[in-house]
A and B are shown apart, each in its own frame.
Chain A
Amino acid sequence: MAIPLSQIVFIEEQSAGIGKSAKIVVHLHPAPPSKEPGPFQNSKNSYIKLSFKEHGQIEFYRRLSEEMTQRRWENMPVSQSLQTSRGSQPGRVRAVGIVGIERKLEEKRKETDKNISEAFEDLSKLMIKAKEMVELSKSIANKIKEKQGDITEDETIRFKSYLLSMGIANPVTRETYGSGTQYHMQLAKQLAGILQAPLEERGGIMSLTEVYCLVNRARGMELLSPEDLVNACKMLEVLKLPLRLRVFDSGVMVIELQSHKEEEMVASALETVSEKGSLTSEEFAKLVGMSVLLAKERLLLAEKMGHLCRDDSVEGLRFYPNLFMTQS
């Protein structure tokens, strides 16, 4: 809400008292007939009161008095319209300022449009060239198929790295995973270095999602794609690094320290469950300080190994020690 200063006749202070805050009373001219429609059409009062609950009235009064003394609005060449509605009205002249701004916006819009259409044109041309690369790679892949394994390892490595650069799926194997290149081998070695400590902190095992976040947060730039990470992890064991990739039956993928023996952890999990009688994944996770995801996998593994039994109801999945095994 805004009222032009030119409407003000006179201002006075009212100091604060018990139960009431400091006020400034602003006496106004009657509304001009050309007044824009607003919250109220008219009022029985010819003043407004500004209430200052905490402080600020002194400064405000000082500045307002200054403005009242200077009366700068009488010196302005055109009156500034504060309304958002456009269109000429009697007695109001469009401020140069606003038209200038609008023109700039329009120019900027046109410029942006031009940029975009140019960008699209260039993009289309680029895509035509990219398509040529795809065709060429298919042709090479066909040659490779015909030769049926007569291709040298060197050629294979070269071809795979070209495909990686272009983002083309390997036409020979049809897989975009497991297409290990030099890059992925290097990456695997790097990962072994980066992940050693975090793994030890987390009990020797982390889900691939955690690893993805950890590694990329640390890098900040030149991030790894999910596929890069998976392809690199697939090479960990081959390269005899101290970590390995493990895929659970559920499809959950984890990285483990080579020294980590999940099967041994199962024994301690059984102890924990026995102590408490029964546990859900969430309860177990909380007790042991693991993520629910990995806790569930451990309990499922324990079940698979015959140490735990499940109780599957609408209340959730609960695990009990497998008494069929222990008490015959």
Chain B
Amino acid sequence: MHRRGVGAGAIAKKKLAEAKYKERGTVLAEDQLTQMSKQLDMFKANLEEFASKHKQEIRKNPEFRVQFQDMCATIGVDPLASGKGFWSEMLGVGDFYYELGVQIIEVCLALRHRNGAGLITLEELHQQVLRGRGRFAQDVSRDDLIRAIKKLKALGTGFGIIPVGGTYLIQSVPAELNMDHTVVLQLAEKNGYVTVSEIQASLKWETERARQVLEHLLKEGLAWLDLQAAGEAHYWLPALFTDLYSQEITAEEAREALP
């Protein structure tokens, strides 16, 4: 009987085969890199064609941008990773979002003195960014803002996106907010404030846990303590006072509005 694959000879043969395969492996990788290079050139040409026909669509249509981003994400491509990427260079998506990033940073910086801790609603951010961009600038959607902010996280700045109610709170200053803090913020979104009783009732927490979370929010300047409220102490979240901010007008506008 002839048994295959056993014995010193067979092992040596196997090793030789492996080594040859590895060699071929080198060649294969080289080939594939060359192939990739060629395909890249072709893709670039395709993208150029697409851009010549539809570049405007990306710039003008927020819905289209969403579709575009989602498709990219599905196939595993990040069109915003680099300004040097094809997507950026040819479609101009990069500049749109990177500039938006700058505007978001500037708005958050400007507003920080107001709410003290760098926490604002997506709505307010949206309004302020639009105002800053002026009447003739391209339209910017909330989805655009979220994507730009996600990119800004790379700068290590403490930009955070916290879902509350049907919207988001945007954090622009590194403040340590863990799950507990986030959950309480979400609870407060309904009325703009929260109480210890509410936390106990909704979240079934012990008093001490609730108290600690609220103290932390006070310390970070995210919450204001109202001891004069009926019943028990109210903890207000100025970041949720969007209504107040949206009515702000300049002195000039006020003068013009008067009869």
Contact = CB atoms under 8 A, between A and B. Distances in A.
A27 B39 CA distance: 79
Contacts of A165: 40, 44, 84-86
Contacts of B174: 250-252, 293
B132 interface: no
Interface stretch (B153-161, B163-171, B202-210): B153-161
A165 B36 CA distance: 12
Contacts of A169: 76, 78, 81
Interface stretch (B2-10, B63-71, B185-193): B63-71
A221 interface: yes
Interface residues of B, number: 68
Given A116-B57, A312-B219, A293 B43 contact: no
- Specify which of B35, B50, B106, B225 lies most central, judged by the most chain A CB atoms within 10 Å of its CB: B50
Nearest to A226: B154
Given A217-B102, A253-B156, A122 B151 contact: no
A177 B25 contact: no
A316 B64 contact: no
Interface in A157-206: 158-159, 162, 164-169, 176-177, 183
A232 to B, nearest CB: 10
Nearest to B216: A314
Nearest to B79: A167
Contact of B151 (A151, A227, A314): A227
- What does DSSP make chain B's interface, helix, strand, loop or mixed? helix
Contact of A167 (B57, B81, B158, B218): B81
Interface string A97-121: 0000000000000000001101110
B105 A212 contact: yes
A302 interface: no
Interface string A288-328: 00001100000000000000000011111100000000000
Given A169-B78, A183-B84, A223 B40 contact: no
Contact of A209 (B36, B99, B155): B155
A213 interface: yes
Interface in B28-84: 28-30, 32-33, 35-37, 39-40, 42-44, 46-47, 50, 53-54, 57, 61, 64, 67-68, 71-72, 74-84
Interface stretch (A76-84, A126-134, A261-269): A126-134
Contacts of B94: 223, 225
Interface residues of A, number: 69
A147 B87 CA distance: 31
A225 B81 contact: yes
A226 B28 contact: no
A143 B25 contact: yes
A119 B63 CA distance: 12
Given A116-B57, A118-B54, A253-B155, 16 more contacts: A127-B72, A127-B75, A133-B43, A140-B33, A143-B29, A147-B25, A151-B29, A162-B33, A167-B87, A209-B152, A212-B101, A212-B155, A227-B81, A253-B157, A312-B219, A313-B219
22 contacts: A118-B53, A119-B54, A123-B50, A133-B36, A136-B35, A150-B22, A150-B26, A162-B33, A167-B85, A168-B77, A169-B81, A208-B157, A213-B102, A222-B89, A223-B83, A225-B81, A227-B151, A228-B84, A230-B156, A251-B174, A253-B155, A316-B221
Interface of A: 115-116, 118-120, 122-124, 126-127, 129-134, 136-137, 139-140, 143-144, 146-147, 150-151, 155, 158-159, 162, 164-169, 176-177, 183, 207-209, 212-213, 216-217, 221-230, 247, 250-253, 292-293, 312-317
